[in-house]
Structure 1
Amino acid sequence: MNDPITQLIAREELPEDYAQIVEKHWKPLATKIARRAADRKPLIVGINGAQGSGKTTVCKVLEILLKQRGLRALTLSLDDLYLTYAERLQLAAEVHPLFATRGVPGTHAVAMGFAIIEDVLAGRAFEIPKFDKSYDDRSNELTRVSGPVDVLLFEGWCVGAAAQPPEKLRRPINVLESEEDPDAIWRTLVNHWLGEDYSRLFALIDMLVMLKVDHFDAVLANRRKQEEKLAAMNPLGPGVLDEDALIRFVSHYERLTRHMLDEMPERADVVIEIDRSQTPQP
């Protein structure tokens, strides 16, 4: 039990065969990252994947594997850059009601992400915020990190995403868009911000890794598992979603998730297929 990977598997209550997954998939990925880092440090690695694709666990494993290769790796989650609940309510009141829901481009503090990555690139100390999903708000907790960092794992559901062609925005993709964004104001703004501020942020990524789920339908099932974990940790948390709220919540992500599944595999540096059981293939 002294092996850190074994300890992580036990702590996270991962499947018994997860050690084999580490050997087959995550060790080769760690080797690719380490080789890139040999030529460029600090290295910014984007880890893209739909909800429930296993990004958080993969990053924890990669931190350990890269440490074993003599590299200091830390993770920055796009989720921890969400605007506060109050900021999103203000955005919803002034711009469009759908921005009250966290997730899409426009609901993150992009400037905070820039500042963190710039500190990493400069070898300076920095602070990583924490977003509490059970309360749907940014917590007061900050993690202070001293520099330098060799590898920053920048993970998030839309990390590295590219904007859609404007003509693709005209037709609603689901009931949420049809009923709550009939004039395409919300999705047009999401796409605009993705092509502007987020594009500049993602341009700082040196290596893009995509954990590719097989279909958007898997997202709801995987997200449901996440909500069950949140409810177990904090049953009274106001941010925990019931089934109807969960379906509506995931609908906010559908358009961009489908777009990424279509176009990102051709330009990502590494693509790892994730099946419906959240297991990398083949």
Structure 2
Amino acid sequence: MQSRLALFDRSYSAIVELCTELKLPPAIDTLWNLWLPLAMQIAGWKPSNRALIQGFLGGQGTGKTTLTQMLTVILSQLGLRAVSWSIDDLYLPYVDRIALRTRDPRMVRRGPPGTHDVQLGIEILTQFQQGQFPIALPRFDKSAFGGEGDRTQPQMIDHADIVLFEGWFVGVRPIESEFRIAPIVTEDDRQFARDMNRQLRNYVPLWELLDRLIVLYVPDYQLSKQWRKQAEHQMVAQGKPGMSDAEIDQFVEYFWKALHPKLFITPMVEQSRDVDLVLEIGAEHTVTRIL
């Protein structure tokens, strides 16, 4: 308790400043009950002789990006340099994704298995583990090419104690399934699901480099549609372009057809398979339970 209280005192002003920057209300309860103990746990997981590779699995709206930002601030108060990195930063360059889409028109969106440079990810995480600094950390600009996105200048990292590696299917492994769950309804849908499941095999060597995996789990996966619609409605209200509800349904269901959360993520959580900690997320985007 004393160590957490001391860490609270050291972290408080920086966390309030970050909340202001992110236009979030000062989350004092969350700081005390979640972010501080989680940062202390992650610090305790760090090997003595190399960087910790900490994975975070969470879908859109689960708050994984905000969480890693808060943890970075708190870990710095523990004398640990943390680097936040996303699987999105491993997207194939624009020209390669256009070529992929030409070969396979089903790969119309970036995000599903097959749209990342997995070998590059393996090389980067290995460099962190072996302390091969400086590291040119790949970064991705989602606004490039009219929102299609492209690689941008890498970020040079001269030291890191902890890598916070997050993504919507980080740590997810291939499964055995008939893929008979909505919205996977047609034979074409099932073939797409089977192909994406097969693609996951290529990611397993990347997941093997994770020291720990924390899952931000939404028991009611349908909430992701609701959250996306809320976000798009806010954008439209501010005069910005946004998707219609029908377009959002199509967008979200595309990813459910690729890797359905009920098939891939729920069993991981229920069986504690390759998972070190589960943060259950409720309808208000807040952690309701820690498993």
Q: Residue 130 of structure 2 corresponds to which residue in structure 1?
A: 122
CA RMSD of aligned residues (A): 2.6
Q: Residue 247 of structure 1 corresponds to which residue in structure 2?
A: 249
How many corresponding residue pairs?
271
Task: Return the alpha-carbon distance in structure 2 between the equivalents of residues 67 and 222 of structure 1.
Answer: 31
Task: Return the alpha-carbon distance in structure 2 between the equivalents of residues 244 and 133 of structure 1.
Answer: 23
Q: Residue 235 of structure 1 corresponds to which residue in structure 2?
A: 240
Runs (5+) with no aligned partner, structure 2: 1-10
Report the CA distance between 1:206 and its aligned residue.
0.3
Report the CA distance between 1:57 and its aligned residue.
0.1
Identify if the C-alpha distance between structure 1 residues 37 and 183 changes in structure 2 by more than 3 Å, giving closer, same or farther.
Answer: closer
Report the CA distance between 1:222 and its aligned residue.
2.1
TM-score by length of 2: 0.83
Q: Map 1:60-75 onto structure 2 (within 5 A).
A: 60-75=69-84
* Residues 46, 155 of structure 1: 8 Å contact kept: yes
Report the CA distance between 1:133 and its aligned residue.
5.5
In the TM superposition, what whole-angstrom CA distance separates every residue of 1:173-229 from its partner, at most 9, and x where no partner exists? 31xx435x52633221210111x2111111110000011112111111223345467
State whether structure 2 residue 154 is matched by structure 1 residue 156: no
Corresponding residue to 1:29 among 4, 22, 38:
38
- Identity among equivalent positions (%) equals 29
Report which stretch shifted further, 129-138 or 207-216: 129-138
Q: Residue 54 of structure 1 corresponds to which residue in structure 2?
A: 63
* Residues 52, 226 of structure 1: 8 Å contact kept: no
Q: Residue 101 of structure 1 corresponds to which residue in structure 2?
A: 109
Report the CA distance between 1:148 and its aligned residue.
2.4
Q: Residue 282 of structure 2 corresponds to which residue in structure 1?
A: 275
Detail structure 1 runs of 4+ shifted over 6 Å in the superposition.
229-234
Task: Return the alpha-carbon distance in structure 2 between the equivalents of residues 246 and 235 of structure 1.
Answer: 16
Task: Return the alpha-carbon distance in structure 2 between the equivalents of residues 164 and 133 of structure 1.
Answer: 34
Runs (5+) with no aligned partner, structure 1: none
Task: Return the alpha-carbon distance in structure 1 between the equivalents of residues 261 and 168 of structure 2.
Answer: 8
State whether structure 2 residue 263 is matched by structure 1 residue 259: yes
TM-score by length of 1: 0.86
User: Structure with the greater relative contact order (CA < 8 A, sep ≥ 6): 1 or 2?
Assistant: 1
Report which stretch shifted further, 245-254 or 223-232: 223-232
Q: Residue 186 of structure 1 corresponds to which residue in structure 2?
A: 192
